[in-house]
Amino acid sequence: MSDNYLLKIHRRVKTLPFGDWLMTRIVANKAPYFKTIPTRLEALRPNHVSCIIRKKRQVENHIGTVHVIAICNGLELAMGMLAEASIPRHLRWIPKGMEVAYTAKAGSDIRCVAETDPEGWQPGELPVRVAAYDDEGTVVVKGTINLWLSEKPDKR
């Protein structure tokens, strides 16, 4: 598969100072809600994306841990970047649903990971595996975001 637009942008900005942070800002300009979480891209390649949510007051809950909804937003950001970096040109995607389990307290920065299998990029439902890890590697949230893939309409 040749690089798509997102991978090309990433290749350009990753060499700049703060390039990984800048990449998440570029995505957040397309989908402004992602500006609500302090993220930095860690890895971007087809079928695998990880990003870091920094533990800051703006994403903490009443007990001082990273709020699970902020983590879900980070997982959705990772999934969206994965979808844009992986989907074949003749397909389009839309999220269909998210199922997550909260498995531990999130008391540190959080690494959000989205992964899928390359052969899954066909019309129909595609489950994207998501997990969030604390600084010690403990899974704090895990689950699946289901995408609906369909053929792009003809542009005639």
DSSP-derived letter for residue 152 is P
CB 144 within 8 A of CB 128: yes
Residue 33 is predicted with a pLDDT of 87
DSSP-derived letter for residue 23 is H
Q: Which segments within 13-152 are labelled E, that is strand?
A: 39-45, 48-53, 91-102, 110-115, 124-133, 139-151
| Residues of the chain predicted below pLDDT 70 | 1-3
Q: Which residues contact 142 (CB under 8 A, 6 or more apart)?
A: 100, 101, 103, 130, 131, 132
Residue 68 is predicted with a pLDDT of 96
CB 111 within 8 A of CB 52: yes
Q: How many residues does the chain have?
A: 156
Distance, CA of 37 to CA of 15 (rounded, Å): 23
Residue 1 is predicted with a pLDDT of 45
Distance, CA of 46 to CA of 111 (rounded, Å): 18
Residue 20 is predicted with a pLDDT of 87
Q: Tell me the one-letter amino acid at 18.
A: F
Q: Tell me the one-letter amino acid at 80.
A: G
DSSP-derived letter for residue 118 is G
Residue 2 is predicted with a pLDDT of 54
Distance, CA of 106 to CA of 117 (rounded, Å): 27
Which sequence spans correspond to the domains of the chain?
A: 5-151
Structure tokens at 99: 């199922």
Which residues are bridge partners to 155 per DSSP? none
Residue 48 is predicted with a pLDDT of 98
CATH class entry, domain 5-151: alpha beta
